[in-house]
Amino acid sequence: MATVARPKTIPYDWYLDPSVARLEQDRIFRRTWQYAGHLGELAEPGSFVTSRAGTVPVVIVRGRDNELRAFVNVCRHRGYLLCDGAGKRATLQCPYHAWTYNLDGSLRSAPRSETEPGFERDGLGLVPMLVDTWGALVFVNPDPAGCTLEEHLGALPELVAEGGIDVDALVFYQRSEGEYEANWKVCVENYLECYHCALAHPSFSKAIDVAPGTYTMEEHPTFSSQFGPPKNGGGGIYDAKGEVGRAQFHLLFPSTTINIMPGLGNLSIGPVIPLGAERAYRFLDYFFLPDTDEQWIADFLELDTQVGVEDRVLVERVQVGMRSGLVTEGTLMPVSERLIVHFERLLVDALGAEG
């Protein structure tokens, strides 16, 4: 009987090599849409918020004309980071030499520029990037020639709506964040399979039915999806009764995670951001319907926090194993880990790699 060749992972060197990390920034993170923040921080003209698209620092502003704009958060003079955090300003002034920009990105003033021969403000405005919204969710793309957000999202908004979530009705609740001693792809690939859930996430597996055939997966051109019904009404972990009938977990390529749990209206979203070949940063913004019961939210967040603690151990131990140098690749389970196969195909295509 002929044996069936199982798919291999990409080489473990790709999770360790700084040159691969640089290539990913150039060919993936600087060319795709990524979640950056929410409209609750950008309600009024003059509001601004900072974020990242991979290693690219981003500032998003609402102009005096009420238009939303995004720029590379870097002064055109000497490369200083222009803004931190979030707030409200009439202009954007660099703290280094006081170069000042209008909210449309144009250079307003540069001290002593009138004494510099040939100095022209035209062409020295902030570098723009694409910005668009899905409900209250704000996305950016550093590539001005990139596709639209609608094209990149594809069928994702429809799937979320069919699952009982009205994105427009949700309100921001809180952000959680942390750094990981692991390559961003290790974090993403851990997210893309629940093969490990029954063993590594006992609380989650009491709340959500993760059995093969019940827990389902789908591949789409720009995202991957997982679906799971509640188990015994949430298994005593939290109350899964409500308008949302099943869990949805989506990975919007390259690294934006979108999570919905059964029960009351909820959604959490955030990117996995590379900080180097073997470090990553994640943040998750949590949204709920207005007036959601605080005890329900507390039970929900306790479960989510526990899963996050367990995942940190998993991804960091995988990174240590990959670093050994004597095991050069992994073996994928083509059914249980089909979404990792899909993700790695998208990755290889984006990098222009072969084999």
CA–centroid distance for 155 within its chain: 18
CA dist 107 and 120 (Å) reads: 10
3-state helix, strand, coil in the chain (%, to 5): 30, 30, 40
Quote the pLDDT of residue 246. Answer: 97
CA dist 339 and 223 (Å) reads: 9
pLDDT in tens, 213-231: 999 999 999 999 999 999 9
CA dist 131 and 51 (Å) reads: 12
Do 34 and 139 meet the contact criterion of CB atoms below 8 Å apart?
yes
Do 294 and 300 meet the contact criterion of CB atoms below 8 Å apart?
no
Burial of 18 (0-12, 13-18, 19+ CB in 10 A): exposed
Coil vs helix vs strand at 266: strand
Quote the pLDDT of residue 2. Answer: 54
Tokens of 80: 């200083």
**DSSP string over 218-261:** EE-SSEEEEEE-BSGGGTTTS---SSB-SEEEEEETTTEEEEE-
CA dist 215 and 223 (Å) reads: 17
Sheet holding 223-228, edge to edge: 171-180, 279-288, 266-276, 256-260, 247-252, 223-228, 216-219
Ordered structural domains, the chain, with CATH: 33-141 (2.102.10.10), 163-351 (3.90.380.10)
pLDDT in tens, 281-329: 999 999 999 999 999 999 999 999 999 999 999 999 999 999 999 999 9
Quote the pLDDT of residue 22. Answer: 97
Tokens of 125: 């405005």
pTM (whole model) above 0.85: yes
Quote the pLDDT of residue 354. Answer: 54
Quote the strand ranges of the chain, DSSP E: 34-38, 47-53, 56-62, 68-72, 86-88, 92-93, 100-101, 107-109, 128-134, 137-141, 171-180, 216-219, 223-228, 247-252, 256-260, 266-276, 279-288
* Rounded mean pLDDT for each run of 10 residues along the chain, 355 residues in total: 74 97 97 98 97 97 97 98 96 97 96 90 95 98 97 98 97 97 98 97 97 97 98 95 97 98 98 98 98 97 97 98 95 96 97 71
CA dist 48 and 306 (Å) reads: 33
